[in-house]
Copies of this chain bind each other. A is one copy, B any other.
Amino acid sequence: MSSENWLVKLRSQGYRLTDARRAVVETMAQSPRALTPADVHDLAKEQYPALGLVTVYRTLEKLEELHLVQRVHQEQGCNAYLAHADGHQHLLICESCKKAVYFEGDDLDDFFSDVGKKHNFTVKDHWLQLFGICEDCEKEK
């Protein structure tokens, strides 16, 4: 669990450590799936019942700035947050339980760059995300 490191990083940026923040940080750091602000609020309130939804928004904003979480786009919505991977990685998401796993895709950069050339673009960045069914969810059928 990396939530200790997250708190250290927040602290090192001059942010104070409060119970409200700790609850949000620990919720995000341990979640296997992307969470909306409302999700975070519901989950983190179990640890700190007085938590306000506003504080969830404010904390997620800081965590995103520090690259500790990233926004995840999905068919159902684009306002969910997930613990960030180290470096540049892509997501594989279970359409059933929403569990998210990171993978590398360095092998693709040449292909992307070729596509760019073909259309007279200089490719600077890309978004890649895979959707499927994880082993656990497959079994449940």
Q: Which residues of A contact B (CB under 8 A)?
A: 73, 78, 92, 94-95, 101, 103, 105, 107-108, 111-112, 115-116, 118-135, 138
User: Taking chain A's interface residues, is the majority helix, strand, or loop, or is none over half, making it mixed?
Assistant: strand
User: Is A132 touching B127 in the complex (CB atoms < 8 A)?
Assistant: no
User: Is B121 touching A132 in the complex (CB atoms < 8 A)?
Assistant: yes
User: Is B107 touching A111 in the complex (CB atoms < 8 A)?
Assistant: yes
Cα distance A127–B73 in the bound complex, in angstroms: 10
The quantity of this chain's copies bound in the complex is 2
User: Is B121 touching A130 in the complex (CB atoms < 8 A)?
Assistant: yes
Q: A127 contacts which of B103, B112, B124, B127 (Cβ < 8 Å)?
A: B127
* Least CB distance, A132 to chain B, in whole angstroms: 4
Cα distance A119–B101 in the bound complex, in angstroms: 8
User: Is B101 touching A130 in the complex (CB atoms < 8 A)?
Assistant: no
Considering only CB atoms, which chain B residue lies closest to A99 in the complex?
B121
Once A95-B124, A123-B92, A124-B95 are accepted as A-B contacts, the answer to whether A115 and B134 lie under 8 Å apart by CB is no
Chain B residues with Cβ below 8 Å from A121 are 92, 94, 101, 130, 132-135
* Least CB distance, A33 to chain B, in whole angstroms: 14
